[in-house]
Amino acid sequence: MATGGSAATVDSADIVRLILQFCKENSLFRTLQCLQEESRVSLNAVDSLDALLSDINKGHWDSVLQAVSYLSLPANILQDLYSQVVLELAELREVDTAHHLLRETAPMNSLKQANPERYLRIEALIKKNHFDANEAYEGLSKEKIRGHLAQNVSKHVQVAAPSRLLALVGQVQLSALAGLTPQRSKGLRGLVYRSLRLEAEQCPTMIARRVKFGEKSHPECVTFSPDGQFCVSGSVDGFVEVWDHQTGTLRKDLQYQDEGSFMMHEKAVIAVAFNKDSELLASGSQDGQVKVWRVATGQCVRRYEKAHNEGVTCVTWSKDSTQLLTGSFDFTARVHGIKSGKTLKEFRGHKSYVNSAAYSKDGSKVITASSDSHVIVFDSKTTEILNTLTPPPPAHCSSIMDYAVNSAIVAPKIAGYSEQEDLIFVCTRTNTILLMNLAGQVLKSFCSGKRDKGDFVAMTISPKGEWLHAVAEDNTLYCFSVASGGLEQTLKVAEKEVIGLAHHPSRNVIAGFAGDGTMVFMRA
């Protein structure tokens, strides 16, 4: 830059640091990391050193790992930091997440090369059924280790508070950086969850865990929390229980379960669903009651004594977690306000049980499936019927008979189809599942190939929509490639009466539950 006949030069590394700071302030972390790697220039600065050190001392590892992802720290400090995170995850019994960090992150891979004995020790601690904190932390408290880590990190980090110059640069809106801002999510599990979603989706090939309920009990519904932390079952005896899908045991790190207390209804629990933050759980029972629980404490925070006149068959949350959508044996679907505790809307039109109810992707429609052989598309605001779909039966079935629609699931984005168009997988009590649009057009079909006991009972979709998994009357899981429509894998789930399925939000794990009192976790 020339000024009054003299020239001032700016070091190219400083220009790169300016761009890195812009990326950091605008949460363009992937761009920041790539630029650091390519230029070999490191920003090595945070907005607030006090905040970073506080996060380390308090074990807020989601924020810490996000911060260090764009810092250049010595290898030994990164190894110590990641080792502590892995051990604390193991203590929380988040074993899969701990294994993922151990095996898939650069600091732990470098530890494996530099100090294989320490790496194998950490791996062995993760694999143990019981976590011994004294052994894992070598007699030190977590607080002391965190404090030592904070002290070491502080020696290598500078402070670069947001500046007016960078605010002005931000107004330019660099088009080359547009669209790269990653989705934010809460918690350490959310941070790892984003990377786990990039894993290739696969069919389950084995039953990894089998849970046997009491002699007079069986699960009627199962769901996973969106963050993958919890698996919850609702049982015919009214219990709502939280499970560790990795071990097939009850979560004893929840104090109320450890003390023998449980979330409960007086009648059979036949529907459960988490809100998007995985903090609240809604459960519906056979007597028409709905309860909302805070899972961390087991506290009931909202109760709808008569959400429906008969049993609640399904429950789902609105995107903003302010409302609950439920379906029922009373032929209706209803919307209930979380804040008001009142029923706000009712969707009528079916002539038999409403087996599933879901919002469209943008929340403008409610899509219900019923035993009356129809799927109805409602306007979610006015409750007006926009369209009634009658899924056509397979060619070998009589066209004059009615076939119950077990469920209609809104499809995630599917390659080859418009992302703007709502598509639904429709499971009827036949041997064929259909992919349809809301105009009623059949786009693809998936058939078990069996006429005897080949009719489908329930289905679930993999998180990225690559696989359709369905269980039939023969108690076998059928795995279809959504792209080709072909049957790729089968797996026996239980000996009799499989009721339903639930897919983990980020892993190749499917829960199946049956009337014989079993719940199984199937894995790839």
How confident is the chain (524 residues) per 10-residue block, as mean pLDDT?
43 65 64 67 66 88 79 86 92 86 87 92 90 90 91 78 44 35 41 49 92 91 93 96 92 91 96 95 97 95 96 96 97 96 96 97 96 97 97 88 94 85 95 96 94 94 94 96 95 93 93 95 92
Residues 287, 266: contact at Cβ < 8 Å? yes
Closest to 392 measured CA to CA, from 355, 428, 341: 428
DSSP conformation letters of 24-41 = HHTT-HHHHHHHHHHH--
pLDDT digit string, tens, across residues 327-365? 999 999 999 999 999 999 999 999 999 999 999 999 999
Structure tokens belonging to residue 451 = 């006429």
Q: What's residue 45's pLDDT?
A: 61
Neighbours of 48 (CB within 10 A): 12
Residues 324, 317: contact at Cβ < 8 Å? yes
Alpha carbons 133 and 492: distance in angstroms, whole number: 39
Residues 182, 220: contact at Cβ < 8 Å? no
For 111, 203, 273, 286, 329, the CA distances from 333, given in Å and listed in that order, are 55, 33, 16, 15, 9
> Which ranges in 208-264 belong to alpha helices (H)?
255-258
Residues 484, 451: contact at Cβ < 8 Å? no
81 contact partners, CB below 8 Å, separation of at least 6: 56, 64, 68, 73, 107, 149, 153
Average pLDDT, the chain: 86
This prediction has a pTM of 0.66
pLDDT digit string, tens, across residues 373-398? 999 999 999 999 999 999 999 988 88
Closest to 142 measured CA to CA, from 78, 84, 61: 84
- Residue 11 identity: D
167 three-class SS: helix
